[in-house]
Amino acid sequence: SRTVRAPRGSTLHCKNWLAEAAYRMLQNNLDPEVAENPQALVVYGGIGRAARNWECFDQILESLRNLEADESLLIQSGKPVGVFKTHENAPRVLLANSNLVPRWADWEHFDELDRKGLFMYGQMTAGSWIYIGSQGIVQGTFETFVEAGRQHYGGSLAGRWILTAGLGGMGGAQPLAATLAGACSLTVECKQSSIDFRLRTRYVDKQARDIDDALALIAQHTARGEAVSIALLGNAAEVLPELVRRARAGGIRPDIVTDQTSAHDLVNGYLPEGWSVAQWQAAAAEPAQHAALRAAAAGSCAVHVQAMLDFQAMGVPTVDYGNNIRQVALDQGVKNAFDFPGFVPAYIRPLFCEGKGPFRWVALSGDPEDIYKTDAKIKELFPENTHTHRWLDMARERIAFQGLPARICWLGLGERHKAALAFNEMVRSGEIKAPIVIGRDHLDTGSVASPNRETEAMKDGTDAVSDWPLLNALLNTAGGATWVSLHHGGGVGMGYSQHSGVVIVADGTDAAAERLARVLWNDPASGVMRHADAGYELAIATAKAQGLNLPMVR
């Protein structure tokens, strides 16, 4: 069994810092603190891998060690396939992962190739070497809640509460994100073990004894304006309808409703009403019982969605959090299941229109102090951006680094390159001990076509047009990013998405400064362009305010 961990410090293993950055980030993705299953090279998200197999992994490192400053390494679904001469302002690594000609773009064909060692699932940041652990999940959820607060509550969630369910892998970030966003939260979870885990890691503050206790706690903390998170053991399909009844009878009502049970997987993901967890797990383990389990879970999802619709009808902002529960309910006959929107069209798209998205960076030195210094720099650069300040403070206090110290924070067009140039100066001056790697998720403003998630319900109906992420990758390559990737199937699986990643290194040189200024302007600008082209007023206004040259947008 192998243990991989990125080298730290300022000694180079490669011929320059750009190759060294890729060298360290690939290894960092497989750090046991970072990866879900490092032995299988699985970083996160099901089977999202960093390299096709160990032989490929070793050879990628070897090729990076030998890579010249004017060469580019090509990675094809996790395998290093070629080294070519390009030039110093071209990317050092170009990656294409999991791409299939559409007619063959399904899991069946994927599995066939994967089994033969001919392919790899890259997810989003796994195969493009810029995954940084669960900080990203907390922050994405935080940003969603903050945006909801902005839209519905004048920018403050103080004294407000969020009702949701599910404390699993992703869902467990909800209570912490709500707290960071300034809101109380009540999360219904049917497994005591999941609640215990979140209590232990301080992702949730308290567990209520029962519904009465939960509502009393919520009433007390919201009244005091405290952002406290409460977990409640129970079944969402039973608790939510009861909360609807109480609200109708004059009881308190939530200020935001959402859900992160795993309704997308009706065998392993959703406890049917009236069932015990033990019964559920037994049925899930027994294929003969799957049909009955699925039917029961689907029926309960319909009840659950009906309760969400009821809250919406009372005027409570209600949103699907990407678990497909609306589709399940619709299939069960809940005709208006899609009356409440998905989280991207509801809360994230306005951010995308301004070029905002999950900007992230990593300190190659391995020294947490380097990140704290960048935290301070962000605050200094954007003094008016108070919610980012709050995020940075709470992230530092509440979120442990995994692998190389890293930070994530949503910045928009005009902010990203500014931050990067400041980091580059800090590297140049020696204030920071080694170069900083800057990247982002593939879920971002200009980099993804995914009609069931990031591009759901685009204003002009172009949800499925994937010219945009391809142009994004070409533009970032042209601009001189350090590595650029094109993936298929991230987030939603084979056939359902195409997306591109970008990473760029601030090594303190003038050449890096020029590239950073270009790439970290163009990358979010291409997202503003995509949304302006689709007709979003906010994107058009942003494009005008920032002086973008979009020939057909008047």
Ligand X SMILES: NC(=O)c1ccc[n+]([C@@H]2O[C@H](COP(=O)([O-])OP(=O)(O)OC[C@H]3O[C@@H](n4cnc5c(N)ncnc54)[C@H](O)[C@@H]3O)[C@@H](O)[C@H]2O)c1
Give the active site residues.
409
Task: Output the six-digit token pair for 100.
Answer: 């299939």
Cα 159–Cα 164–Cα 168 angle in degrees, nearest 5: 125
321 counts as binding ligand X under rule CB under 6 A: yes
Rounded CA-CA distance 167/189 in Å is: 6
Shorter beta-carbon distance to its own copies: residue 323 or 498: 498
Minimum separation from the CB atom of position 547 to ligand X (A): 32
Which residue blocks in 153-191 are alpha helix, DSSP H?
173-180
Among positions 30, 42, 186, 190, the unique one binding ligand X when judged by CB under 6 A: 190
Stretch that binds ligand X, among 148-156, 164-172, 333-341, 379-387 (CB under 6 A): 164-172
Rounded CA-CA distance 68/49 in Å is: 26
264 counts as binding ligand X under rule CB under 6 A: yes
Nearest to 373 by CA among 361, 390, 384, 359: 361
384-398 in b/e form (b: 16+ CB < 10 A) is ebebbbebbebbeee
Distances (CA, A) of 352 to 458, 464, 477: 12, 17, 21
Bridge pairing between strands 42-44 and 71-76: unpaired
Stretch that binds ligand X, among 123-131, 231-239, 418-426, 501-509 (CB under 6 A): 231-239
258 counts as binding ligand X under rule CB under 6 A: no
| Phi, psi angle pair for 322, to nearest 5° | 80, 25
Stretch that binds ligand X, among 187-195, 310-318, 397-405, 546-554 (CB under 6 A): 187-195
441 counts as binding ligand X under rule CB under 6 A: no
The enclosing H or E element of 90 equals: none
Among positions 29, 235, 374, 482, the unique one binding ligand X when judged by CB under 6 A: 235
Shorter beta-carbon distance to ligand X: residue 297 or 540: 297
The enclosing H or E element of 27 equals: helix 17-29
Shorter beta-carbon distance to its own copies: residue 66 or 193: 66
189 counts as binding ligand X under rule CB under 6 A: yes
Shorter beta-carbon distance to its own copies: residue 113 or 314: 113
Minimum separation from the CB atom of position 190 to ligand X (A): 4
260 counts as binding ligand X under rule CB under 6 A: yes
Find which of its own copies, ligand X, none residue 445 binds, CB within 5 to 8 Å per kind: none
Find which of ligand X, its own copies, none residue 262 binds, CB within 5 to 8 Å per kind: ligand X
Minimum separation from the CB atom of position 280 to ligand X (A): 8
Minimum separation from the CB atom of position 34 to ligand X (A): 17
Find which of ligand X, its own copies, none residue 189 binds, CB within 5 to 8 Å per kind: ligand X
Shorter beta-carbon distance to its own copies: residue 102 or 251: 102
Stretch that binds ligand X, among 258-266, 329-337, 371-379, 427-435 (CB under 6 A): 258-266
Find which of ligand X, its own copies, none residue 199 binds, CB within 5 to 8 Å per kind: none
Find which of ligand X, its own copies, none residue 360 binds, CB within 5 to 8 Å per kind: none
Minimum separation from the CB atom of position 468 to its own copies (A): 7
Task: Output the six-digit token pair for 388.
Answer: 């980012």
Shorter beta-carbon distance to ligand X: residue 235 or 522: 235
Find which of its own copies, ligand X, none residue 81 binds, CB within 5 to 8 Å per kind: its own copies
Rounded CA-CA distance 257/460 in Å is: 28
Shorter beta-carbon distance to ligand X: residue 208 or 263: 263
323 counts as binding ligand X under rule CB under 6 A: yes
Rounded CA-CA distance 91/234 in Å is: 51
* C-alpha count within 13 angstroms, C-beta hemisphere, residue 345: 21
342 counts as binding ligand X under rule CB under 6 A: no
Rounding to the nearest 10 degrees, give the CA dihedral for residues 417, 421, 426, 432: 40
Nearest to 546 by CA among 316, 344, 354, 260: 354
329 counts as binding ligand X under rule CB under 6 A: no
Shorter beta-carbon distance to its own copies: residue 181 or 449: 449
166 counts as binding ligand X under rule CB under 6 A: yes
Among positions 157, 170, 434, 519, the unique one binding ligand X when judged by CB under 6 A: 170
58: three-class secondary structure by DSSP: helix
Among positions 29, 164, 262, 365, the unique one binding ligand X when judged by CB under 6 A: 262
> Per-residue contact track with ligand X, 271 to 300, x per CB under 6 A?
x-----------------------------
442-481 in b/e form (b: 16+ CB < 10 A) is bbbbbbbbbbbbbbbebeeebbebbebbebbbebbbebbb
Cα 546–Cα 550–Cα 552 angle in degrees, nearest 5: 140
Minimum separation from the CB atom of position 18 to ligand X (A): 31
Residues 6+ apart with CB under 8 A from 508: 424, 425, 427, 428, 429, 435
As to burial, measured by CB atoms within 10 angstroms (0-12 exposed, 13-18 middle, 19+ buried), residue 97 is: buried
Q: Tokens 């994004």 identify what position? A: 472
Residue 349 and residue 319 in contact, taking contact as beta carbons nearer than 8 Å: no
Shorter beta-carbon distance to ligand X: residue 446 or 480: 446
Which residues are at the interface with ligand X (CB under 6 A)? 140, 165-171, 188-191, 194, 235-237, 260-264, 269-271, 321-323, 343
